[in-house]
Structure 1
Amino acid sequence: MTTPPPSSSEQPARTRRGQAKAARRAELLEAAARLMAAGGFAGVTLEDIGGAVGVSGPAMYRHFSSKTDLLDQMLVDISQRLHDGGAEVVARGGDPDQTLLELIRFHIDVLVTKPDLIAVQDRDLSSLTPAANHQVRSLQRRYVEQWVDVLLALDEVSGDRLLSREEARVRVHATFGLLNSSPRLPAYPEPGLRAVLGAMAWAALRAE
């Protein structure tokens, strides 16, 4: 006997439930990032995270099987966001100098809007499960190579010098180190912070 498809009234209800679950998951991840950035992965419990958004301890397990599972999802999410955003910038095409500027702006936008996630990623990467660690590092490597490809294209077009791929990769990693330290910087107005970080990143990448 064939099961009839869900009625039109059931489908919106399921959609609403899915949207509500996704919204609550995002809320929990944001709270977790905030608490872990302040207290470290080891210093925060699932109950602490749930309590920050009014979710009971047992209800947390409807979203995450453990605190480590939550960390896995959080850092895979931010790594995927960086990789996909970088790919989108590169896919737009255009001159290499403009593409590199757009990559810098994109990265800074993530830093400024999600500083807690960047702080957790920088400090607690070693607490991931091996599978999530592998996935995060793979995404990070591919994100780096997006920048390296654009930097090498700009170097070739400008004719100033010809970087080796190894040197270009070192410059990109060093630039990420500079930018990703921004959550630990003294308080500074956001427009000025974006401008300072952007100028310093460009100078680091294109230094003679």
Structure 2
Amino acid sequence: MTSKATGPRTGERRAAILGAAARLFAAHGYRGVTIDDLGRAVGTTGPALYRHFPGKEALLGAVLVDVSERLAARGRTLVDRAEEPREALTALLRGHISFALDEPDLITVHDRELGNLTDEDRRTVRRLQRGYVEEWVGVLAALRPDTPGPALRASVHAAFGLLNSTPHSRGPLSRGAMADLLLRMGVAALLAEEPDPR
């Protein structure tokens, strides 16, 4: 009985710590945040965090590995559930747009702090990201069968750049309006016709 009660609480505590760490790292940079800052952000002391993570570097690694795992798992699930490639592409775009709009701190931390990861955590993040990209590439290959693989991968990375750069600049647009705009732009970008060589 105790172990069942403890599990969810432990998971919730870990999620709260990762969320607070992402916000602080995004706002102040990895080097500008102390373990005491992190502890205060979740209502405890810095040293108490060592029960969950061995240090700040491990916490940064957990933040970026966690989001990479979530994106990769969601990408696989969305593709598996779709009945045809266009539906899969729309689902992938909607899923990534939700991530970009709802968790912009994680995009900031990834872009700015990847170099502060341990070699092992960086390899893990890169491996997970490659798997996520390949889910998109597989869907695009079915929709654009005449386009070479390298061009499809470049298209996916360019689409990520588009989607990931916009959450901080939506201005007066509502979340729903921004999500719809990004979906239309994402579809247009990923399914764009190849330029006429003439």
The TM-score with structure 2 as length reference comes to 0.93
For the pair 1:137 / 2:122, whether they are aligned, the reply is no
Q: Which residue of 1 aligns with 2:101?
A: 112
Report SS of the residue matched to 2:8.
Answer: helix
Shift of 1:18: 2.5
Shift of 1:58: 1.4
Check conservation: 1:171, 1:205, Cα contact below 8 A: yes
Contact 1:119/1:183, CA 8 A, preserved across alignment = no
How far apart, CA to CA, are the structure 2 residues paired with 1:78 and 1:177? 17
2:170–2:178: 8 Å Cα contact kept in structure 1? no
Q: Deviations over 1:44-79 (max 9, x none)?
A: 111101101211121110011111100111100100
Partner of 2:151: 167
Q: Residues 57 and 118 of structure 2 are in contact (CA less than 8 Å); yes or no, is this contact kept in structure 1?
A: yes
Q: Distance in 2 between matches of 1:89 and 1:21?
A: 28
| Equivalent position of 1:14 in the other structure | 3
1:151 equivalent in alignment to 2:140: yes
Deviation at 1:95, TM superposition (A): 1.6
- Alpha-carbon RMSD across the aligned residues, in angstroms, is 1.2
**Contact 1:118–1:183 (CA under 8 A) maintained in structure 2:** no
Q: Does the CA-based 8 Å contact 1:37-1:117 persist in structure 2? A: yes
> What percentage of aligned pairs have identical amino acids?
46
- Name the residue aligned to 2:196: none
* Residues 1:177 and 2:164 aligned together: no
List alignment gaps of at least 5 residues for structure 2.
Answer: 194-198
Displacement of 1:93: 3.6
Partner amino acid for 1:181? S
Q: Contact 2:86–2:143 at 8 Å: present in 1 too?
A: yes
Look up the match of 2:184.
Answer: 199
Alpha-carbon distance in 2 for matches of 1:86, 1:17: 30
SS in 1 for 2:51: coil
Runs of at least 5 residues in structure 1 that lack an aligned partner in the other structure: 1-11, 157-161
Mapped partners of 1:85, 1:150: distance in 2: 14
Partner of 1:123: 112
Task: Report the AA paired with residue 203 of structure 1.
Answer: A
Aligned residues of 1:47 and 1:57 also touching (Cα < 8 A) = yes
2-side partners of 1:14 and 1:135: how far apart? 29
**Secondary structure, aligned partner of 2:23:** helix
Residue 98 of structure 1 is matched in structure 2 by: 87
Distance 2:167 2:125 in 1: 20
Is the Cα–Cα contact under 8 Å of residues 61 and 121 in structure 2 kept in the other structure?
yes
CA distance in 2, matches of 1:94, 1:22: 33
Q: Distance in 1 between matches of 2:96 and 2:108?
A: 14
Residue 37 (structure 1) aligned with residue 26 (structure 2): yes
Give yes or no for contact 2:18–2:63 (8 Å, CA) kept in 1: yes
- In structure 2, what is the equivalent of residue 28 of structure 1? 17
Larger radius of gyration: 1
8 Å CA contact 1:79, 1:139 repeated in 2: yes
